[in-house]
Chains A and B, each alone.
Chain A
Amino acid sequence: MTRVFGIGIMWAALIALPWWLPTIGGYTALGSKVLIYAIATMGLNIVLGFTGGLSFGQAAYFGLGAYGAGMTLKYLAASTPLAILVGTVVGGLAAALLGPLVMRRRGIYFAMVTIAIGQLFYFVMVRWNEVTGGEDGLAGFSRQDIHFGPWVYELTQTHFYYLVLAGFTVAVAIIWMILQSPLGHTFVAIRENRRRVEFLGIKVERYVWAAFAIAGTITAFAGTLNALLFNFTSPQDLHWILSGNFVIMIVLGGMRSFFGPLIGVIIFVVAQDYLSSITGNWMTFIGMIFVLIVLLFPKGVLGIVNRRAEAAA
């Protein structure tokens, strides 16, 4: 019951965000950024937290989604829904096709292969100058208002936030449904004990692949929204530093909790936004926050909250 209540409050706060965030010194685009990163990390957490695969190259699919959306708008058609669709499919397909390279790997080897694949895409985007804009990034496109027959949904900053919130809601619903299903139960069982699962007659690799492809698709979806938010994307959106930040966000919030990544993203993005306006050395402080949380709450911020709730129940 408290859980339902908490989630209700969370959604109310998200819906009302354009009204209250500016009053505490924020801005609506910051809210969009938080939700976009939350989609990306909750998608990544299907592999990382729920299947136990150390995917350290997830930015690749985020960036592919972003480039896919940006290039669709720039070269193909002035349609926001099409841009989102193309970017998501491109990133998801890449994850599905590369999945067989990672599904047999375990532990640190899984991490190495995913990082290597991520950097591969990074260098493709840097070198393929004439199409991707190279190191300068891909500019010269902008999100287009969405037309429903005669009715037009203008994508102002606030309206775009609600588009992102709708995307977040859909992504959360899909991830929740998967984790409650036999497919999700299989993912978690693989995280817990690959050998036991294999000896129940489950083809483990097939499910690691599925988790990786689903995670890549959801992260790519987040990437498309990120490109539309800034009307810009750059190779930084594929870089391993962003992949590492995704993992840090998840660990901060709690990788075993469903909404852990969201909490981690809020801490990270807000800290980044405020600290970077004060000091150029903001990464140092993020690092200190990270170390403190890992030392004090090894299961992340939500991990400690959940344990209190269990103890009280």
Chain B
Amino acid sequence: MNVAVARRETQAAMRGKGGPFLRLDNVSRHFGTLKAVDGVSFEMAAGELRAVIGPNGAGKTTFFNLISGLLPPTSGEVLFEGETITGQTVVQRVAKGIVRTFQITEILPELTVYENIRVGVETAARLNTMPWISRGRRIAIRRRVEELIDIVDLNGKANRVVGEMAHGDQRVVEVAMALSVGPLLLLLDEPTAGMGDHETDHMVGLIRKLHAEQCMSILFIEHDMDIVFGIAQRITVLDQGRVLAEGTPDVISSDAKVRAAYLGSIE
């Protein structure tokens, strides 16, 4: 639980500095003539559980790619904990604590749940370059992997080969991998995409738990409005690469622009 303590301290320090945890300043990303993200400014506080919604093609995934470092912005600045990270690589951003999952599950398919998570735990412990490790370290790694398996509630499935598991479980494994490297900001790209009711409940419960118990700052893209309005503290609505609206679920659900442009067309 040291991680949670450290996270709380980080949050306290951020409040002290008065700077936002994550901030995008007038960020754009153009692909030729397509303005996937167009002049977006965005702020998120530490410890926040924030949803990003918007119709298909609104630029949600590009927005995530700009934060996680998969794409550089065409213009604008990305800041994390008060420092600019615009020019930083994916690996540098992960080291700062920005970790993501993908819309299409990215896991290590031929390995077991345990082995998938272990890679992240060993990375967090900076052991990747070690061609051998002591027995004590091996045991410490096993404990941490088992702790993570317990947190995401995959108990009893540690030795299952991930590629052969149900889709919902695979996505939970991906979240566990993201957690294993000790993120400060967790980016979840459509965490419940393609899931059944039961699997969705499991994932939603997990997101809630991470936010409540681990004080995790979570930014997630989601299409299911029940989930978005059920768990998010604040919601950012993107449309055609721009921020259409932002606020608490109450504010967003009564926003005329959002209803006209988005909610009405889906429900």
Contact = CB atoms under 8 A, between A and B. Distances in A.
Contact of B131 (A181, A189, A192): A181
B95 A201 contact: yes
A305 interface: no
Interface in A171-186: 177-178, 181-186
Interface of A: 177-178, 181-186, 188-189, 192-193, 195-203, 207, 210, 256
Contacts of A193: 106-109
A189 B119 contact: yes
Nearest to A188: B111
Interface string B111-136: 10001001110110001111111000
Given A195-B102, A196-B107, A200-B99, 19 more contacts: A181-B130, A181-B133, A182-B130, A183-B130, A184-B131, A185-B118, A186-B122, A186-B128, A192-B108, A192-B109, A192-B111, A193-B106, A198-B91, A199-B90, A199-B106, A200-B123, A201-B181, A202-B119, A202-B128
Contact of A183 (B108, B115, B129, B177): B129
A225 B180 CA distance: 44
Interface of B: 68, 90-91, 94-95, 99-100, 102, 106-111, 115, 118-120, 122-123, 127-133, 174, 177, 180-181
Nearest to B132: A181
A44 B109 CA distance: 23
Nearest to B110: A192
B123 A177 contact: no
Contacts of B106: 193, 195-196, 199
Contacts of A186: 119, 122-123, 128
Question: Is chain A's binding surface mostly helix, strand, loop or mixed?
Answer: helix
Contacts of A177: 131-132
B108 A207 contact: no
B115 A185 contact: yes
A80 to B, nearest CB: 27
Contacts of A182: 122, 127-130, 133
